[in-house]
A and B are shown apart, each in its own frame.
Chain A
Amino acid sequence: MAEKITCTVNGVKRTLELDGWEKLLDVLREKLDLTGTKRGCDDRTCGACTVVVDGEAVHSCTFPARKADGKTIITIEGLSRGKELHPIQRALIEAGAVQCGFCTPGIVMELYALYTRNPEAPEAEIMDALERHLCRCTGYEAIREGALLAQKYMRK
């Protein structure tokens, strides 16, 4: 049955009609055309669909859309300001952490949630956060370096 939810997505208030079966990922990609959030698995094992809901990094592939009612959501499209990249995006590029780019938006959002909550997160906590993200291309070295560089940039 159709139901309505209202949430704030990347700073804009949106009212959306749901059929009931949708996950947050379906709504973002299909209804809002926010296709930067990626679908890699459907069972929260790859991290590609990570978005930030009320400050927390969540797997949008299993997050029921109706639970987004009243929430504030930030997706990868909401990070850069016009042509000015967010420091996390800049750092990952500089570190060479981007190859195919399919896991990148999820990693950016994971780090955004982490560093917003705790700008001084110790490396162990950063590694715990990054462990939730699969990357088949890079071997992770550059992702780790990019994450540490991003933290440095955000402290400035």
Chain B
Amino acid sequence: MDFKYVGKDIPRPDAVKKTTGKSIFLDDIKLPGMLHAAILRPAYAHARILSIDTSEAEACEGVVKVVTGQGCTIQHGENIRDLTPMAVDKVRYIGEPVAAVIAENLYQAKQALKKIQVEYEPLPVYVNALDAMKEDACLIHENSGDYWHLPGVGPVGGTNIANHYHLRKGDIEKGWQEAEVTVEGEFVYPFGSSAALEPHGAIGWFHEDDTIEMWSSSICPFVIREDIAHTYHLPVSDVRVHIPELGGCFGYKSDITCEQTVAYIASFVPGRPVKWVASRKEDFLSTLIGHGFVTRLKLGATKEGKLTALESNIYHATGGYSDTGLHICIAGGHNVAGAYEFPNSDQHAYLVYTNTPPIGAYRGYGHQEVQLGLERLMDILARKLDMDPFKLREINYLGAGKVTVLGERLNEKHGNVSQCAERVREAIFTGKKPDEDENYYYGRGFSALMKTPKGAPFSSKGCYLKFNCDGSVCVNMGGAEVGQGLRTVVQQVVGETLKIDPSRVSVYTEIDTQFSPWEWQTIGSMFTMQGGRSAWKASLRAIEMLKQTASQALRCDIDMLDYDGEFVFLKSDPTVRVEVTRLCRGYMYENGMTVGEVVQTTADTRLPRYSNPDENGQGTMGVTHTFGAQGCEIRICKKTGNIRVDHIASAFDVGRVINPKQIRGQVLGGVMMALGATLCEKLRFDENGRCANPHFGKYRFPTIKDAPLKQTVEFVETPGEIGPFGARGIGEHPVIGVAPAILNAIHDAIGVEFYEIPVMPEQILEALAAKQQK
């Protein structure tokens, strides 16, 4: 297929504003009469609140109001309603809001905050899921069994288990009987932070006319709107949410994070807007954190390497509240099989309350956490079978005609993992790796991967498109631009479909629930695919409308007409034509009489045939799959234990590349995040639930000097069914295969198995020392 604009490096429309400092982010917004809030965090990660004395704080200069959770009856959440906007009678994690000061400026609010006195009665603290699951563990939520929840999910009352997902396929016993070789392991993917450069924040404004207006650095304005409306018993239409420019997201600005807290605080000063922006420490501990997975995995295979069984148990430390962690745990449960077909499988995923900050989305959403173990075990299995790991994988890859653990039968349009693997093999494994020398060990590692979006039944993305009188087009959508470049994608898809230059397509710059079409949330790497399809559909509808009006102007049937971006014309005689500019607002005859409608269209796209799980936990919950493979070449410094990644190769079957430069940027950014997770990033909580490194000084994420010397990024393009021109999601996928590829490479280099990340230099040195002793 020949494209004019798709597949080209169209420049992103927001770049000039961003490089000149003129893009408006949340903290750049000033509203008339705006107040500032500072929020008090607890001294303990799990404690009963005995008393709060705010009198001294109230007397401080500039203080308008001091707010606590005493008497607050609000419970909220989209899935499991276990959240409160502010701690009521106990605190469950170290970053929880306990009280807030609203003042004329932030400095005054922070000063007054120091004067609030809180008396606590400390309770036992659980930092990991397995401890919190012990029978004698103290309950983090005493009444969890009573919480409202979506059907089919929810807490196991009287325990710290917030949800148990069980997924079965085939007959696991039969799978073990057929297995001639088994391998198993326990893998740890620790707590981390999405750590966008822009800290999260929100502004709440309770108007005197009983409407609520909010601004948030969030990617889910419509979730916020509906949740706030429900809490304050208002029609959804009376809550308005604005989303300004976003300084990165990577997951944790989805769902509800700080918005209910800011709304609650603002509700005490109706008539005045209240702004709260997280400090970096609060961004680490008081928004949503990532991962917290312990995964036990066991694989069975025949001597020939055919996989027969997969058993997994996920213990997910979801933090003090489970609402935002629920679907990550479930996603882990049904994506643990990665890029492989298992005829028999049995997956348990336990979502467990712990005294750590709530888990939320993090780029990858339950995939990298579990596929780390799977891809490590595939290498270990290959060694046990004395088989080439590429061959072992090849005979088990999912593909056309294969059935996933969810019971979804795949076809060719779901993509081709073998081709991705081959690209990576060629990039990394042809030729011989360097021999160990005086300074370094060298290793190479590989990982295949698969990701599905973890959608929802109503996960739609809408599009409003209007033709202007000069033939330029305005597109309005609800997708949040977090840096991924969706505005450019919309321009290219609409330009290609309408056969007009993308520079003539103006794309929305902010989201406002009052004007924007409905979108569930900009999550799951779904925008290019779903949002792109909506933009494509809306464009096709616009062409139909132009033809409809032209059929009146040219006095013929619609099917006799064609369109080329500039004119609508007779197929049989293109010289009989009418300009698009004379059709967009209706066609005017010489006497001024006008026919036809103004060309404005709408469209939306949901995940087709998405279903809820059946009694076996199965269903059409993957819907769309992006397959890929990643590999790396590393060197390990003998003296320091430092791991240097020399080369990372990534290949994904993305269906269709819309913008080569942007997609490379997405992949490199994702690889870098995963490199951080593998080699240095971890939020460290001690046994009291206190965090040792909630700032960039100690939570080190990679700098420019950590970037791999060489990156190979390639794409296979097997067009998918949903996305425009066959495009599939790619935003999250680059984080999935990096950790297993590096850990497999470490084994290749020094023969040591690692089951947990991050792998720091001191662990390498320890492992080398232990090896020498042997």
Chain A interfacial positions (CB closer than 8 Å to B): 19, 21, 29, 33-43, 45-46, 48, 75-77, 79-80, 85, 89, 92-94, 96, 98-105, 108, 127, 130-131, 133-144
Given contacts A35-B28, A42-B280, A101-B483, contact A140 B672 (CB under 8 A): yes
The reply to whether A127 and B280 form a contact with Cβ atoms under 8 Å apart is no
Bound complex: CA of A136 vs CA of B482, how far in Å? 11
- With known contacts A96-B662, A98-B12, A48–B707 Cβ distance under 8 A: no
List of B residues within 8 angstroms of A141 by Cβ: 668, 707, 711
CA distance A46 to B28 in the complex (A): 18
Stretch touching chain A among B169-177, B695-703, B750-758: B695-703
A94→B15 CA distance, assembly (Å): 9
Chain A min CB distance to B64 (Å): 18
| Cα-based distance from A93 to B194 in the complex (angstroms) | 25
Q: State which of A77, A100, A127, A143 has its C-beta within 8 Å of the C-beta of B247.
A: A100
B696 x A104 contact (CB < 8 A): no
Kindly state whether residue B661 has any CB partner on chain A within 8 Å. yes
CB pair A101 B23 closer than 8 Å: yes
Provide the residues of chain B in CB contact with A92, threshold 8 Å: 19
In the bound complex, residues from chain A placing their C-beta under 8 Å from that of B28 are: 29, 35
Most-contacted residue by chain B among A33, A41, A42 (CB, 10 A):
A41
CB-CB under 8 A from B196, the residues of chain A are 100, 102, 136
B482 touches A100 (CB 8 A): yes
CA distance in complex: A21, B105 (Å): 12
Excluding A98-B14, A102-B198, A127-B704, 14 further A-B contacts by CB distance (< 8 Å) are A41-B280, A46-B280, A76-B20, A100-B197, A100-B198, A100-B249, A101-B18, A101-B23, A105-B21, A138-B668, A139-B667, A139-B669, A140-B668, A144-B707
Q: In residues 643-686 of chain B, which contact A (Cβ within 8 Å)? A: 661-662, 664-665, 667-673
| CA–CA, A70 and B101, complex, Å | 36
Looking at the complex, which one of A36, A43, A103 makes contact with B695 (CB distance below 8 Å)? A43
Q: Does B103 contact A (CB under 8 A)?
A: no
Chain B hits for A43, CB < 8 A: 280, 695-697
A136, B19: Cβ atoms closer than 8 Å: no
- Pick from A43, A48, A79, A136 the residue with the most CB of B within 10 Å: A136
Q: How far is the CA of A35 from the CA of B704 in the complex (A)?
A: 25
**Which residues of B lie under 8 Å from residue A33 when comparing CB positions?**
30
Q: Does B93 contact A (CB under 8 A)?
A: no
Inter-chain CA distance A103–B16, complex, in Å, is 14
- Contact yes or no, B665 A99, CB < 8 A: yes
User: Please, which residues of chain B bring their CB within 8 A of the CB of A93?
Assistant: 11, 15-16, 19
In angstroms, Cα B250 to Cα A139, docked, is 13
Task: Please tell me which one of the listed residues A36, A40, A94 contacts residue B198 in the complex, with CB atoms under 8 A apart.
Answer: A40
Contact between B669 and A104, CB atoms less than 8 A apart: no
Contact, CB under 8 Å: B248 / A136: yes
B243 to chain A, nearest CB (A): 13
With A and B bound together, what is the CA distance between A29 and B26 in angstroms?
A: 13
B window 2-21: CB within 8 A of A: 9, 11-12, 14-21
Q: Are B711 and A102 in contact (CB under 8 A)?
A: no
**Which B residues, 483 to 502, have Cβ-Cβ distances below 8 Å to chain A?**
483-485
